[in-house]
Amino acid sequence: MSAAAGTALQLAQDLPSDLPSPADRGTLEVADRVVERVAGYAVTLVPEATAAPRRVLGVNVGSSRTEDEASVSASVHGGTATVEATVAVRWPASVRAVADQVRRVVREEVAATTGVRVDHVDLEVTSLDVPVRRGPRVR
């Protein structure tokens, strides 16, 4: 269980038992931006995935941003969402394996944090993060 899921479970257990049913209390709408932020953070939890480098006119500018959240867009309809993310994968990890792990973690974190079920996660892998290999210094 993730830390977010554990916190959500603890909060649910701390609620008074005499509350009216959820339907009687009102509605809850989770904004697209909330799901985007949670999903972007979820990508950082996958060791081999990073935020993709910024691009200008289709050309990478700089390198992958390991400490940043991935570029994510989400569309929430009721209790379900569709997520699109742009990521980089660290070399030599399997792109397919990393993509599967990112999809799983995004679904788990979004559901645990927001209660929204992610039906579909589209990933665009724009680059491989290859470590810079430094040659010997010439003196």
> What are the chain's domains?
3-12+29-129 (3.30.70.1350)
Residue 11 pLDDT greater than 60, yes or no: yes
CA-CA-CA-CA torsion sign (98, 99, 102, 103) = negative
| SS3 (DSSP) at 86 | strand
List 81's β-bridge partners, or say none: 76, 118
* Residue 77 Cα distances to 15, 28, 33, 128, angstroms: 27, 12, 13, 33
pLDDT tens string 118-130? 999 999 998 887 6
Give the C-alpha separation, 117 to 121, whole Å: 11
DSSP secondary structure, 102-130, as one string? HHHHHHHHHHHHH--EEEEEEEEEEEEEP
pLDDT tops 80 at residue 93? yes
Cis peptide upstream of residue 92 (ω within 30 degrees of 0): yes
Q: Report residue 20's pLDDT band, with 50, 70 and 90 as the boundaries.
A: confident
pLDDT band at 4 (very low <50, low <70, confident <90, very high): low
For the segment 21-37, what is each residue's pLDDT rounded down to a tens digit? 767 778 888 999 999 99
User: Using one digit for the tens of pLDDT, what is the confidence trace for 47-71?
Assistant: 999 887 555 455 555 554 445 678 8
